[in-house]
Structures are given as structure tokens and as C-alpha cells.
Structure 1
Amino acid sequence: MNDRMTPLSFDALMQWALKDPKHIMGVTPIAISEKVSVPPFKLYEESLEMPFGPAAGPHTQLAQNIIAAYVGGARFFELKTVQTLDGEDLPVAKPCILASDEAYNVEWSTELTVPEAQAEYIKAWFALKLLSKVYHLGDPNGFIFNMSVGYDLTGIRSPKIDAFIEGLKDASHTTIWKTCMDWAKNNLACLPSIDLDYIEQISPHVSRSITLSTLHGCPPDEIERIATYLLTSKQVHTFIKCNPTLLGYTYVREKLNEMGYAYMDFDSHHFDHDLQFNEAVPLIRRMQQLAQDLGLTFGVKLTNTFPVKITRNELPGEEMYLSGRALFPLSISLATKLSEAFSGMLPMSFSGGADAFNLMELFKAGLYPITCATTLLKPGGYNRFRQIAKTFIQALETNTLTGTPALPTHCETLRQLTSTMVTDSHYTKPLKPTLPKKFPYASPLLDCTIAPCTKGCPIEQDIPLYTRLVASEKYEEALQVITDKNPLPFMTGTLCNHLCTRSCRRNFYEESLAIREMKLEAAKNGLMSLLTSMGTPPTHLCDHRVAIIGGGPAGLSAAYFLARSGMDVTVFEKEKSLGGVVRYIIPEFRISLKAINSDLCFINQWGISFETGKTVHSTQSLKDAGYHYIVVATGATVPGTLKLNGMTPLPSLEFLRQYKESQGALNLGRHVIVIGGGNTAMDAARAAKRVPGVETVTIVYRRTKAYMPADVEELDAAISEGILFEELLSPKNYKENQLICQRMQLGEADASGRMRPIPLEEVISLAADTIISAIGDQIDQDFFAKNQIPLTDGGMVQYDESSLEVTPNVFIAGDVKQGPATIVKAIADGRLVADTILQREQLTYPSLELNIDMATIAYPTSSCYGILKKAQTGHQEANRCLGCDTTCSCCVDVCPNRANLALEVDGQTQIVHLDALCNACGNCSAFCPYESSPYLTKFTLFNTLKDFESSTNPGCFVVDLASQRLRLRLNGEDSIIDLQTWNKEPKLRALLTMLLKDYTYLIGLGK
């Protein structure tokens, strides 16, 4: 395996681009509308159809990257920076990119040699001249290539860089230009709409402009000398990249802290040694005047990346460069500051968190052109350009955009953007970031498509199917799918901690699909019709009866799955009504009694017997009464104890029960303190806040909010309702209406992965008339002891994990198992117990039968793929689903180099990794739903035998294409095979057959 890329020949590049008109380089093409007949934008004396494109970086390093960006709608290409240090002499740590949230990188200029880079850019230029015409994608003269060079004058004046600049100013004398020209002339038959005259008139003037990139610490006079040289000697339009350090250390530190990025570690070093703002302004003025005298354009590029320290092993090394949404507040702040300093008369190109949500606004504010990087590194990849292009096309067609924004830039618009971004969730970091959770096992070699939402759900509901049914407004059918595995759609549709959304790939776009809300949508709109269409409950199929102790979510779920399968089930509930903690503890401002009763209405249809108001003390008494199986689902109802000198806090469950029974008519005094950080603590605090006479409610926690176990929406709800938070405090005693707490600080991580609180000497006092303890409730150990059910040393029930059996034919389910958990985990327990009992009785759970024409279901389409879109209301939210169960291809999307191919083989998507095009950047590792790195684990096509032998990847090297003789590695074993006679692994054989038949141009690159 090699971590250096092998550029494609122009022939291979064009064969690939011409292979599939619908998915060119893996991107769905978008054509600039014929209604936009004249390119409306002007820059560097050139026409520009769209004012955006990829930034100098991984997306402009290889020719196929540039083609992919163009196909998606980009028209301005900031070519990756070149410098004298190049090729194998340039050290780049690998992996070098991490873009799962805000992005980081440790690479800076092209990894190719400078001559190779020049050849790539010329190939890309020529290819776009052909492809734009062949596919009618837009004006062949409607795009611009912009050089990027660095990092000092000596290097830029060197023969190597000088030849690069001159070769792009006029490529006609280069060898690669002749190669491209000859190929086009010899392949006119596969280039419709193109004739010989067109080819001969293709302009060799690839680029007439340069963006200067300087390292942090470059002196002002050096920057001025380079800019002067580029303007006077090279006669090119010149922009210089400005660093965020121009804002000053104090501003940057405070701004990032304010927006949730306090964890980023950096000091004042770069700020002290970089160009200062008061030096930059006169420098820029002098360069503007010089450019004007020469008839050229001079401006600034905002911004360069921002260096931060590597403190959590994010990437190898000691320092990395920040980009993406966290860089946006710095870039837009600097744009505002410079715009004001120059009264709007400074051309400014923009990069730093630009994407579909802000790019149009940036343009309207006078920032132009605009380049993107981080958004393209996420799922959707180059296809994300299509949304931006469509926005501009629509604006141009409807005459709501007049073209290039004339100077001055709109200072007031920039000020508004700067002021509003601090509360915009697209840029701010939440207290508890939600990134898709990886599944703790390796990706399979083939058939790796997976629905992360379903796999992340404890009961593995078919979420993609029911969301599609909701999208089609087939609510009864959607509810059928839901209730096949979940008998409590109203409770889970309201209260579920929705682990499914934690795994949703939409989190990499903007925010997860509102899966819980769609479940509730289906329940509300489909329940009555489902109840009407249900037949009589199944007859009892065996003589053995089941007794369930507890009518909460776990008990009800076990009863449902058993009864639906033909078992005789009775539920014993000590309260007067069913519902358990959900009915008697959780406040009605979180879930209504109507919702609870709707679930009970559904469960009541299945012939289950209920005995309410009856406490069961003995499992033996139930056996004596003829029950063969017993399920204990009594919950965790014993309050956790908090040692506090001077008083005993009110247990949260007791308080919440009193609050619900009295409808809030309690006497708590003026000041209430809740100790704890879970969902119950949030419920208690929000309930207390609603009690008449209460002025302040404060949550006291020994860590910070970020480490509270409460779900993020419950935490946000408490904050929005004015609950106060006292973090890093440990309660010690209570005296004279004052809670005395010891100040804490966070130390190293403990076994839970959270920072361990360490006590300090400082103590503080908080006013408290009532103290509520919400530190974790426990099971009733006495019940189990009396029934000879063994407990662990920690006081928990001992059980068989595969069945939840505790003694012969006695099972547990729900919170009684390991303490307070979630409703969906209680349902999972109920299903596990039911499946165990059914297996012993040789019964099966009935299969789901949908009476529906599947062709009428609204499946996700390309219209939502790569599209940034915030949550919608009602059934329309389902249209944001990306259809991960039908195709994944994350590793294909996020690879800038197109080194991962998604091939349709016998109706299934299979991934092939192209070793020659991969530089081991590692970006695909962050987005694979498995605990895998696709560039290391997927089936790999190797370029050379040396690369094959130096790698451990599963894959092959084509020894001889004509005879289909391969060197193959599978399961760690090497062999030589003749594909025509090889009769193993039929799916892999079909994949290899396709590769050798249809992708010959990608085989043996560089031979």
C-alpha cells in the first residue's frame, strides 16, 4: 500500500468521465440553465457562471477532483497550493484529515511534485473544456482556475515555481497540453457536439490569477515583496490569504469560548508573530494602488486555516489546522472588520465554513468568489455543490440576483451575519455534541450497506420503512411496522431517548432526522384506523400461563409480545392504573395522560388480563396459582440515598409523584435545589419551577453540564425554562436554609469516560428551602431476597444475559434489571423474555404482513442526497431520510480523490478501493458507520505488485488482464487465480468480473 497518489493519464481520466453520464466521477451532474445564457459574473477579466467552488485543498489536488466539483456546479477552482518542497520530500503525517464535525488537517500544500501538479491542473482544464460541451453542462468559458502558491519569495521565484506559474499562464508549450490535444483529436467519435475547430480553439491560458498563501509568522515586508512581485513581474491578479490571527488573541479566544469551542487549545504565539491588523491595512492599501496602476485586481482571501494544539490524539503531531463551522465566526468577523476599515472598497474572497446554508448570504454581502472545503469532506461530498448551484440558478432565472456584487461590500449585512451567528446552531457547538455512533465491529468486505438508525435502536425497528410510509401519508401501515416491534408508540414517540437519531447520518449534514417525532406522527394519525382493522386476539396456543409483575413499559411489552404469539398472559399491577413510572412519575408537561392511554388502548386489544391494585409479594404464590412463567418488571422504585449532614433531601420520585397527584399544589418555599444531572433531575427541576411561590430552582452537579447524563433536549428544556445550574459543586451539609457545597475541578477521565471531579478547598453556600435528591433510584432488594433470587455484591439481580432468567422460569425485565434505564430498553427486555418463553413453548412471533403496494411508497431520491435541510414539520420531515438501508457509499462521498468506487453488482452496492488514487488521508474512517477504515479494510484494487505486497488490505493485483490472472488476498491469505475458472466467492467473482470488463482504464495505473 502506498500513501502517495498516482495521477490518472488523460486517456483514463476521460474514459472514466465519459463512462456514465448520470454519475460523472460519482456526482450527479447539474447543468447551468439555458435561461442563464450569459455568464453573469465577472472576475479577473473572465466570465464565471457560478461564484463558488472548491478551496485550495484536497478537492483541487487531482484532475478528477476538479471534474467532480465542476459536474456538481462549481465554477471557481482555487488550485491546491504549490511550493518548492514537494513530492516525496514533503513530509505529511497520515492520517491528515478529520472532518467529523468542525474539521482539522495537518497537510498544507500539494503532495504531488510541482510538475505533476501543473499537469493535473492542465488536464483538468482541458477535460472541463470537453465535458462542458459534451454534456451541455454550461459555457465552456464560464469557469476560472486560480493558482495558489507559497510560502516565501525565494521559493516563488525559484525556477520550479516560476515554470509552474508560466505554464498555467500559457500551457501551449507543455508536453501535457499536447497529450490532451492529441487525445481529443483522436477521439472525436466519443465527443458529441465537438469538432476539430473547437478543439484547436481551446485556450491554453489556464490561469491568470494567484492566491498567495503564507505561513504563520511570515513578516509583513515579506508578504508585501511577494505580492509586489506577483503583480509586477508575473502580471497576475493577486489575492493574499489573511490569517484569523489578525483579530487578536483576546477576540478569538472569547469568540470561540462564546460559541462552545472552549476546548480548543491555543496560545498567543501565532498572534504575536503573525501580521498585525494595523500593519495589514496600510499594506493592503499600497497593494491596491499598485494593482490599480497596473490594471490588475488585488484583494484578500478570508481566511487561512487556524492552528490549534493537538491534545486528544485527533491527528498525529503537535499542531493541526482548524476549518469548517468553527472557523466561520472568525472568518466572517475578519471580513466585517476589514470591510469597515476599507469602507467596503476591498475585494474579498471567502472561505471558512462556507456551505449551502450561508453561501448566498455571503455573496449578497459582497464576498466573492466563495470556496468550500469542509462541507465537501462530509457525506454528500461533491454533490453538495448541486444545492448551491440550484440556489443561484433559481435566483438568476427569477431576476432576484443581479450578478456580480459591485463594491462597496455591504458592511451592514456583514455586521448582521457576525451578530447572529453566535446563536445559530449551525455554528455554535452544543453542550453535548451528537455525532453518529460507530458500530463496534468491522465492516464486512461486501454487502456493507446498513441502516445506522435501525442498528442503533435497542429493538431494531425498521425505521427506514416506517419513515417512508409516513412520507407517503400511509399512517396505518407505518404504525403496523412500528408496533411489530414496539407496542408503545405514543410513549416512545414522546419520551424515547432515541438512540436511533444518534446514529443517523443526517448528523453529518446538519441535524438528525426527527425519527421520534415521525413515530408519534404515525401513532396519532394511524391508531384509530389500525384499531378498526385489527381482528380478534389470537387464541391461546398452549396450556402454560404467564404472570407478569408490573404494568410499566417492560411488563406491558412482555405481555404484548407473548399475547400476540398466543400465550395466556396476566399482568399484576400494584397501582390502580397501568403505565408505571410514565403514568405516576413523569410530569404531564412531558407526556399527557391521553398519550399514555392511547398506548394502553392498543395493548388492551390483545386479550391480556390485567389485575390492577394488586401487590404480589411472592413468585411462589403465582406458581401455586398455576402460572408456569413469571416475569418480574417492578422497576427501580427505591430512592437513592444522599448523605447530607443536617437534613434528608426529598427523593425525586417521591416529589414527582406528589407533584403529579397534587397538580403542582405543593409548598416548596422560594428556593429549590435539585441534586443530580440525569433526566429525572431535569424533570424535578422543571416541575419545581412550576410550583407557586418558587422563585429559583437550581441544579447542583459535581461535574459540568457537558458531562451530565441527561438527554440533550431535556437539558436544553431546563435551560430554556430558566433553571439555574451550579456546576462543579459537591453538596456536603445543610444549615439554616443554606446548602453548603465544596468546589470541584475536573481531573483525568474515570471508567465512564467522564472527567473525574476532584475536590478543592473552597466551599460556597446556596439558598435552599427545599432540596430534592435525584442521584439514581434502586431496586427493591428485599423482594428478591424474600423470593430467593440471587443478587450481586453490588445489590443488583443476577441474571442470564441471553434470556434474563434469574431462577427456573422466572425472568426480569426493565429498570429492575440494572436500575433506571429507558423505555425502549424496557421494550427490548420485554421482547427478549418473550422470545425465550416462546422458544421453550415452540411458538413463534407472527410475521408482519403489510397489505400495500410497495411501489407506491415514497423512497428517498437524489433530490435529498447531499442537500442540507433543517427539520421539517409533519410527514414532510420523512423526506429528509437519506435511505441508508438501500445504499451507504459514505466512503465514496467523502473521498476527495474518488479513490472509492460504488459499483452496482447484481442489484447490490459494492465498494472497491483504488489504492493508486488514495493518499491515506483517513477521511473515510470518520464517516464509516462501522469501526473501520475503508481505505484499509475494503476490497482494494492495487496499482503495482509492490503496492500489493506491502499492504495487508484484502484485494487484488491484475497480473495479466487478457488472461484475467490475478494475485488475490482474502482473509489474510495470498493466492494466484484465473478468474475465468475460479469458482469461489460468487459475489466477489461477479465484482471482479465487472472490474476487469468495465473499468480497465483504472487497472495498472503508472505501469
Structure 2
Amino acid sequence: MGDRMTPIPFKNLMNWIFEEKKASESIFGVRKKFVKNNDRVLNIFGEKIETPFGPAAGPHTQLAQNIVAAYYAGSRFFELKTVQILDGEDLPVSKPCILAEDECYNCEWSTELRVPEAFNEYIKAWFALKIISKEFGLGSENGFVFNMSVGYDLAGIKSEKINNFIDNMKDAKNTSIWKECMEYLTTNVHKFENIDKKYIENIPSTVCNSVTVSTLHGCPPQEIERIASYLLEEKNLNTYVKCNPTLLGYDTARSIMDEMGYGYVVFGDFHFKDDLQFEDAVPMLQRLQKKGSELGIEFGVKITNTFPVDVTRNELPSEEMYMSGRSLCALSLSVAYKLSKAFGGKLRISYSGGADYFNIDKIFNVGIWPITIATTLLKSGGYQRGNQIADKLEEIEYKTFEGVSLDGLGKIIEEIKKDKHHTKAVKPLPSRKMKKKVELLDCFVAPCSEQCPINQDIPTYVKLVGEGKYKEALEVITDKNPLPFITGTICNHTCMDKCTRNFYEESVAIRSSKLEAAKKAFDELIKEVKSSDKYKDKKVAVVGGGPAGIASAYLLAREGAQVTVFEKEAELGGLVKNVIPDFRISKESIDKDVALAAKMGARFEVNHPITDLEKLKSAGYDNVILAVGAYNGMPLGITCDNEINAIEFLRACKKAPETIKAGKNVAIIGAGNTAMDAARAAKRLAGVENVYIIYRRDMRNMPADEEELEFALEDGVKFKELLAPAFQKDGKLTCHKVVLGEMDASGRQKPVVTEEAVTLDVDLVVASLGEKVNGEYYKSLGLKVTDKGYSVMNPETMESSSEKVYVVGDGAKGPATVVLAISDAVKAVNAILGLKPRAEITVSSDVKAMVSRKGILLHSKEVKDEAKRCLECNSICESCTDVCPNRANIAVRVSGSKMSQIIHVDYMCNECGNCTSFCPYDSSPYKEKFTLFANLEDFKNSKNQGFVLLDETTLTFRVRLGAKVNDFNLKDASSDISEGIKNLILSVYENYNYLLMK
């Protein structure tokens, strides 16, 4: 495959639109259409737009199908992708060229087509919109506007190539593509219900009477003014000039980025010095504004053009890239404010820069429009996000431009600087990818469930909770999870890291949904808890009454095994009960999980340490599960007058806080989750005034979960970053300053300790460098251990070096999470009883309801239940289809298949790489999904598994599966091809024939 796109001929384009619309009420995968049901419009360039927004000059206005998809979803202003003298194969574009998983970066800057090809795409789109607007009753055929974008210098704009482009966009009637489209439509007028030949013949040939000027960084003001003057005076075009965030000045831009958490984004002051300066921009724009007024032509600015930043983490295969999206919003609006203030609010502004559903109405209300968007359309939901934006803007009064409200704009900027939707999290975002490759077929999966160590049926129970079926939800939860209260309260919920909803606004609140089910259905469920008697002859001892032990007991008792848990402490719950503070989890929550296991038939003996396995075996226990927690802490290894280990400290805080000699100032050395617990517990001790977290890296690189860091900050814990403790003496802790050096194997910068010292008032030092397993205990029981003290065991069955003795929880692989302890318990119990993994539990889903959530941004606080936000990815993922600007990934309905299949259409792909970011698998759909090729040459030029039609008469296809290439006659029932692949190819041929480019 190559990165060159093949434009779709107009007849194929129209056939595709009408066939897809007829079959599924969608167009290019956009299922929800926007219909303009009122006569409210805005006037711009002497024309009308029904909604004041649309796609920016970029990936969403490069091909005709992109523009059609955007229109169908609600866009009515189209800033066409920039054309310049350097085009096609001569234009150097590194691939992949887009990275939009959070703030967006790109390294592509104008159309990748030849300029004449780009012109053809815009004319085809013009005709297509004129037809579908009327035929499908979407709005007025004159309710949208095309705005061309040209660059990058006057010589290029005056060249024959660009000059012809501009002139033909102003009047296209004599061009070959105009005649081709007109001929097709008039010949096929019988296919339309609401369109006649006269309507077609009267489609205006003036496609565009406006232009947005894009200039290169470093373009001098004189050149910019010459370009704009030429377009105003010679071409008589309504003209907007793109302005860069560099107008703010380096210090202001750097300050805003740092304030909002984007300190890691690197950019120098070169462009700020080399680009148009504000003191030059204002008089230049005043002259151009005056010139436009004298000519009776609109003039304004487009904010914002590119903001160049350095590639520092191999984000894209280039040295420099352009930032957009949520990180650009405050910068762009600040440029708008600065210019508006200089012009008394009377400068027209076309806006782009982090606009989306959450802020577009605010931007519009202060008098800034049209508004173009790109990054939000590149994220999950794709073009469909336009539908929600259009609906939101429909609720606002449309006003003729009278000026920009400076007060209103200033307020928006301050809000955005503090808005979590725009500010960066304290820590780097976790990977949203599963550690597995995408399947060729049947790839839809719930990444949350896949990430969960026990594969909880998350979409199912979230759906049931949303329906108020709490008991059914809790039954689904406890089918695989014996600890719904503990995990519903303190689980580290990495499932939420993988939730596709993160690409909308925030994860579905999976953990709290679980806890809601547990709280509301516990009393009902425990009455009906029943165990089997299938394994009543099995007798198992569980050593340790923490989460791993309780889970093991529940799972064994459920199957009828006789199980007794031996706990050395006076209470059950292990570290969760004895160490984790009450403000994190209550005693009652832990006790309820114990009660479930007890009701299932498990017995518990407290104050009963086990030091000899032979005694258990002689007592008739067939198997033993060791579920012992990691209680041992690691010392700091420095001289301290008053040092205590974090586990010991937390236990004392919980059981006997009066015994702790904390003084006024407490320092926690370390920055994991245990350190955060210790810091927050210290804040609650009588007499403590200051609590410090001291760590040798910065907060961004602390190992604690983001949530735990935020809790500590809210509690008033003070973070002392880049410090390495040296010694504590006489109430003083001396540390050395640290600088961050080269990256280590984990991808973090190595801390380098300097000689510069810092002294803090510290009365108590709490060491929180991690916990250790007591390997000596396992040795005393006759088990082999690793050099770290972990039990040697089979990771599939958890069986130790001693037959029928199993090790789960911390002792198996080191200190870990509660849900990992449950996972170990499941493996051990399955091995002991010979069980298979529990099957997935699903409930019937409403496809329409699932589809209706796509593209709809909705925070948790805006809904009563999380089911309305869950995208049910195990039934309908289609992320790769949503986010592809060119519509090159397509969901195909296949006969006999429960779910749609994804195919990749090679000729529509330019290898931008956007689908890679949003596929939940560690994969690139444009390389790894089954691919349709337009012709044999494209097939040969690719390594993708896929197919190409060779002979329609015999229905022969050439197919590549793995590394093997074969020709298959699909009319021949004996063809040696898998049923799934055969059905997929036949479905494409029979139901999606318009894809074949015949």
C-alpha cells in the first residue's frame, strides 16, 4: 500500500451516497443527520450559512467524501484544505502525520493531492451538497459556504497553477470536472425524488468568493500585506489572514502553557522572533481592513494558524510538528483577545484552535465566528460530533456581527485556563492500548474488560446498574469478583484507563457503578447466596485472611469445597483492614465482602498463625493456598533520628495514633500510593502542621496513581520535587537537589543528584520505598523462593514448588493490587478444582441506543447513570471507522455474523495514522485490518492481508492471508477459503459494490 489517495469519480461518489443512505440511513458512516428545521441563518461573504461552524482546512476537507460527511453531521462552513504551488508527490509529508490521542500534533500542512485534483474534489463536494441538501431535506441548498485556503507566498499564489485554481473556484462552469458532474446529474435525474433537471442546471458555478491566506512561519509583514492586497484588489475575494499564536510573544505563550500543565511541550523563541510581530501586525491589518471596506469586501483574520513545537518523544517522524486541540485553545483565544482589544472589538475573526462541543457556544456568543474544528473530529465519534455541536448552536440566537465582546472573551480565557477539559493532568496519561494485536475478524471488544485482570463483564453490569437492576448487576459482578465492596472502593481501576470514553471527556465511572450495585443489592443478594455441592469432598486450607484469602475462600466455597481461612491477626481483611486508612475504605465495606464468603460456606479462624504445612495436611486438607500479604517495608538507608516505615506508620495511625511521635513536620520519602496514604494519614494526626512528599523526580513522574496525587493535594500535602534525602538530625532533614538527565529504560529521565543542599524542618521521617515479601516465611514452610523472596510457582496455576501448595497475592509476584490478588485466587482455585474460566455474561443490547451515544460528549455530572455514557465497545466499537478523516475504514454487515466486520479501503487512505491512536488494540487498522484494493497493482504494492476483484464474471478474487496469495472463485463452493473471510468478501461484493471502484 502507498500513502497516495485515489479520488472517487463523481458517479461512484453519488452512487455510494445514495446506496448507503438507502441501506442504512447513513452517509460515509455518519448515522445521525442534522436537519435544519428553521430559517435562522448567518450572513457571511454575501452568502448564508445555516450553522456557524465546520471543518478547518486540514484532513477533513481534503477529499469530497470528507466534506459530505461533515455536512451530513451539521457543518455548514467549509475551510477547504490549503493549496500551494508545491503539491502531490512533490510535497514532503512524513507518515504517520497525525497524533490526536490527547492534545493534537500533526506534520502535514496542505493538500497532498495535486492542485487540479484538489480542485476536482471541491467541485464534486459542491455538487454533492447541492444535491443531498435538497433531496434528503437536510437544509437549504444555499445554506453552506466554501472558503478556499491558499499559501504560502505571493509568487506561488500568482503562479499559473494557483491562479487557475482561484479563478476556477470563482467560476467553475467551464472546467471539465464541472461538466462531468453536470452531465452525470442531468443524465441520472430520474433517480431523484425532489430534484429536477432545471434545479441541476441552475446550480451556481461560483463555488467560492472568499479566501483564507496561510503564510509560512517567518513570512515578513510586507509579504503578507502584498498577498492580502492582491487577493482583495485583483481577485476581489473576501479575505481573511491567518495569524499565529506567536503574536503573543514567547514569554506569554510559555507562561500559559506552563500554567495549564503543558510544561513538557518544548518550543524555542525562534519563531516568536522570526514571525510577524504584534506591533507590525496591527497597522498592517488596519490598512487591510480599511482597504476591504473601501472595496466593499469583507476582511478579517483567521485565528489561529500553526503553533510549531519540537518533537522530543518520537511523537511523529519529523523534527518539528504543529500543535492543536485543547492545549492550543487558551493561546488562540488570547491572540483573539489581544487583536480584538487593539481594534476595539471591530475586527472580524474566523476562529480555530481547540474549539469543541464544550466551548463552541461560548466562543460564538462573544461574536467570534465562523468557527472551524479539526482535533475534536479526529477523536472517537469523528464527524458525528458535529451533530451535537450543531444542535447546541441551534439553541443560541444568531446575531449579525457587531463586534467582539472583550469582557466575555477575557472571561472565557480565564475559565479555560482552569478547565480540566483543557488543562493537562498532573501525570502523563496512561496508555489506552490493550497489550494484544487486533484480530482480522470479530475485533470488537470491551477494552475495559480486557484490561481487568479478572475480565469483569463491565459493559453488562454498567448497563444493568443504569436500568436499576442492581441485584442482576451484582450477580454479574460476583460471578468473577468475590470482593465487590473492596474493589468498588479502592480498586486501582486500570479498566478505566482503557475506556474509550476517555477520548470523549472522561472514563465511564466503572468502579463507582460497581459500588453502587454492591450497596443497593447486597442485602438482597446475600439472602440468595447458594453454593454447589459438586466439590464437597475437597478440603482446602487458606492461609491469610486478606483480599487474596477471602477471594480464594469465596471461590472454593461456591463450588462446594470445604474451606477454612486461617488468619494470624484478630481481624480479617489483611492490609486493607489493618493498614489502609479508614478515610479510604470503611470497616463495614470489608466486613460485607467477608460476609459473602461466609454465607457461601467458608469458615474463618482468626488469631491462628500457620507455621507448619504438615499439620494442615494431617488435618485432612488436600490443598493449601498461601495468601500472605507484604507487610515488610524497606528502610531509607540514611541516618535518621526518627524514622518509621510507612506500613508500620499506617498501622499505628489506624490502631493507636497516640503512640506516634510525629511532631509538627512529617516527611514522607517516596511517592507511590502507600506514600500518599501515609501523607494523608499524617495530615490527620493531632499537632501535625506540615506534611511533605519528598521525591527525587518531579510530580509528573511519581508512581502514585493520578487520583491519589489529587487526593493528597486536596488534603494539603506539600510536594517537594527533585530532592534526594541525605540525613535527618535535630529536627532537620537535609536533602540534595536533583536534576533530571537522560531517559532510563522506563522512559523516565534519570535523577542526577547534585551537591546543592536543601534543609527542611522535619520531626518524623516516614520511609515509603515499597513493601517486601517475607521470603523467610515461605522458606520455613519448605518452599523455594526467588532472590526477591517470592515463592517459586507456576504462573498459570499458582502452584508452588511444593505439590498442592499454592501461593496467591503479594507472595506470588510481589506487592500488587487487590484485583490482581483475585486473579491469582481464580487461577489457584481453577487449578485445584479443575475448572475452566467463567464465560462472558452479556445482555441484549439496543443497537440504535448504542449508536446514539457515538459522538456525544457527556460528563458524568451531566447524567444520572453511567450506562448512558458507556459505548458498549464489545458490541459496536468502530473506533477506526469513526476517526478516519477519509472514511477509509468501513464497518460491513456480514451475513451470519453477530457483529459488523471492519475492512480497510486502501485507495482512500493516506496513512495519516489517526486510526492507530484510537484502536483499542496495540495495532494500526490501516495496516492490519482486512483490506480492499482498487486494482492488482495496489494489491502488489502492499503487504496488507486483503483482496482485489480479478474477474466479476467468475467472481474471482485474489486474496492475501498471512504471507500466502491465492485466487479464489467464490462461486465455487469447494473454494479452499475460510468461511468468515469468504462471507466478508461476498458481503462487500453483494451489498457494498460501490466500494469496488469499477
Asked if the contact 2:557/2:597 (under 8 Å) is kept, the reply is no
Q: Say whether residues 1:222 and 2:223 are aligned partners.
A: yes
Q: 2:983 aligns with which of 978, 986, 990?
A: 990
State the distance in 1 between where 2:153 and 2:397 align: 39
Q: 1:188 to 1:435 in 2, by over 3 A?
A: farther
State the distance in 2 between where 1:663 and 1:514 align: 34
The residue number in structure 2 matching 1:25 is: 28
Asked if the contact 2:968/2:977 (under 8 Å) is kept, the reply is no
State the distance in 2 between where 1:793 and 1:572 align: 27
Structure 1 residues 614-647: Cα deviation after superposition (integer angstroms, max 9, x where no partner): 1111222211222111111110011222212143
Q: Say whether residues 1:826 and 2:826 are aligned partners.
A: no
Q: 1:845 to 1:885 in 2, by over 3 A?
A: closer
State the distance in 2 between where 1:637 and 1:382 align: 52
Q: 1:148 to 1:634 in 2, by over 3 A?
A: same
Look up the equivalent residue of 2:27 and give its one-letter code: I
**What TM-score do the two structures reach when normalised by structure 1?**
0.96
The residue number in structure 2 matching 1:301 is: 302
Residue 210 of structure 1: how far off its partner (Å): 0.3
Q: 1:660 aligns with which of 651, 654, 657?
A: 654
State the distance in 1 between where 2:760 and 2:28 align: 63
Residue 696 of structure 1: how far off its partner (Å): 0.3
The residue number in structure 1 matching 2:130 is: 129
State the distance in 2 between where 1:875 and 1:565 align: 37
The residue number in structure 2 matching 1:484 is: 479
Any idea what SS the aligned residue of 2:624 has? strand
Q: 1:652 to 1:596 in 2, by over 3 A?
A: same
Q: 2:962 aligns with which of 965, 968, 971?
A: 971
Asked if the contact 2:667/2:766 (under 8 Å) is kept, the reply is yes
Aligned pairs for 1:780-795 (under 5 A) are 780-795=774-789
The residue number in structure 1 matching 2:631 is: 637
The residue number in structure 1 matching 2:882 is: 893
The residue number in structure 2 matching 1:566 is: 560
Across the two proteins, how many residue pairs are aligned to each other?
990
Q: Name which of structure 1's ranges 913-922 and 73-82 shifts more when overlaid on structure 2.
A: 913-922
Look up the equivalent residue of 1:532 and give its one-letter code: K
State the distance in 2 between where 1:633 and 1:245 align: 60
The residue number in structure 2 matching 1:762 is: 756
State the distance in 2 between where 1:253 and 1:794 align: 46
Aligned pairs for 1:387-406 (under 5 A) are 387-393=388-394, 395=395, 401-406=396-401
Residue 760 of structure 1: how far off its partner (Å): 1.0
Any idea what SS the aligned residue of 1:924 has? helix
State the distance in 2 between where 1:948 and 1:819 align: 50
State the distance in 1 between where 2:613 and 2:719 align: 44
The residue number in structure 1 matching 2:247 is: 246
Aligned pairs for 1:475-514 (under 5 A) are 475-514=470-509
State the distance in 1 between where 2:940 and 2:351 align: 44
The residue number in structure 1 matching 2:919 is: 928
The residue number in structure 2 matching 1:527 is: 522
Asked if the contact 2:642/2:763 (under 8 Å) is kept, the reply is no
Q: Name which of structure 1's ranges 881-890 and 742-751 shifts more when overlaid on structure 2.
A: 742-751
Q: Say whether residues 1:180 and 2:169 are aligned partners.
A: no
Residue 308 of structure 1: how far off its partner (Å): 0.8
Any idea what SS the aligned residue of 1:184 has? helix
The residue number in structure 2 matching 1:956 is: 947
Identity %: 49
Asked if the contact 2:480/2:838 (under 8 Å) is kept, the reply is no
Aligned pairs for 1:942-953 (under 5 A) are 942-953=933-944
Residue 774 of structure 1: how far off its partner (Å): 1.1
The residue number in structure 1 matching 2:41 is: 40
Residue 433 of structure 1: how far off its partner (Å): 3.2
Q: 1:614 aligns with which of 608, 621, 644?
A: 608
Asked if the contact 2:150/2:211 (under 8 Å) is kept, the reply is yes
Aligned pairs for 1:426-441 (under 5 A) are 426-441=421-436
Structure 1 residues 735-755: Cα deviation after superposition (integer angstroms, max 9, x where no partner): 111111121122223333332
Unaligned runs of 5+ in 2: none
Q: 2:510 aligns with which of 500, 511, 515?
A: 515
Any idea what SS the aligned residue of 1:198 has? helix
State the distance in 1 between where 2:657 and 2:868 align: 40
State the distance in 1 between where 2:820 and 2:542 align: 17
Residue 540 of structure 1: how far off its partner (Å): 6.1
Residue 31 of structure 1: how far off its partner (Å): 3.2
The residue number in structure 2 matching 1:8 is: 8
Aligned pairs for 1:723-872 (under 5 A) are 723-806=717-800, 807-839=802-834, 854=843, 860-872=849-861
The residue number in structure 1 matching 2:666 is: 672
Q: Name which of structure 1's ranges 769-778 and 451-460 shifts more when overlaid on structure 2.
A: 769-778
State the distance in 1 between where 2:191 and 2:856 align: 32
State the distance in 2 between where 1:143 and 1:1004 align: 29
Asked if the contact 1:640/1:775 (under 8 Å) is kept, the reply is yes
Aligned pairs for 1:379-458 (under 5 A) are 379-393=380-394, 395=395, 401-458=396-453
Residue 496 of structure 1: how far off its partner (Å): 0.5
Q: Name which of structure 1's ranges 354-363 and 187-196 shifts more when overlaid on structure 2.
A: 187-196
Residue 455 of structure 1: how far off its partner (Å): 0.2
Structure 1 residues 193-237: Cα deviation after superposition (integer angstroms, max 9, x where no partner): 111121111111111100000010000000000000000110010
State the distance in 2 between where 1:260 and 1:788 align: 52
The residue number in structure 2 matching 1:704 is: 698
State the distance in 2 between where 1:215 and 1:648 align: 62
The residue number in structure 2 matching 1:398 is: none
Q: 1:866 to 1:409 in 2, by over 3 A?
A: same
Q: Name which of structure 1's ranges 458-467 and 767-776 shifts more when overlaid on structure 2.
A: 767-776
Asked if the contact 1:565/1:845 (under 8 Å) is kept, the reply is no
State the distance in 2 between where 1:848 and 1:26 align: 29
Any idea what SS the aligned residue of 1:491 has? helix
The residue number in structure 2 matching 1:575 is: 569
Q: Say whether residues 1:695 and 2:694 are aligned partners.
A: no
Structure 1 residues 512-537: Cα deviation after superposition (integer angstroms, max 9, x where no partner): 111001111111111112123334x3
Structure 1 residues 686-731: Cα deviation after superposition (integer angstroms, max 9, x where no partner): 0110111111000111111112111111110101111001111111
Q: 1:858 to 1:203 in 2, by over 3 A?
A: closer
Any idea what SS the aligned residue of 1:836 has? helix
Q: Say whether residues 1:592 and 2:586 are aligned partners.
A: yes
Asked if the contact 2:28/2:65 (under 8 Å) is kept, the reply is yes
Residue 944 of structure 1: how far off its partner (Å): 2.4
Q: 2:643 aligns with which of 621, 644, 649?
A: 649
State the distance in 2 between where 1:237 and 1:859 align: 43
What's the C-alpha RMSD, in Å, of the aligned pairs? 1.7
Q: 1:169 to 1:68 in 2, by over 3 A?
A: same
The residue number in structure 2 matching 1:903 is: 892
Q: Name which of structure 1's ranges 644-653 and 996-1005 shifts more when overlaid on structure 2.
A: 996-1005
State the distance in 2 between where 1:631 and 1:791 align: 16
Q: 2:537 aligns with which of 533, 540, 543?
A: 543
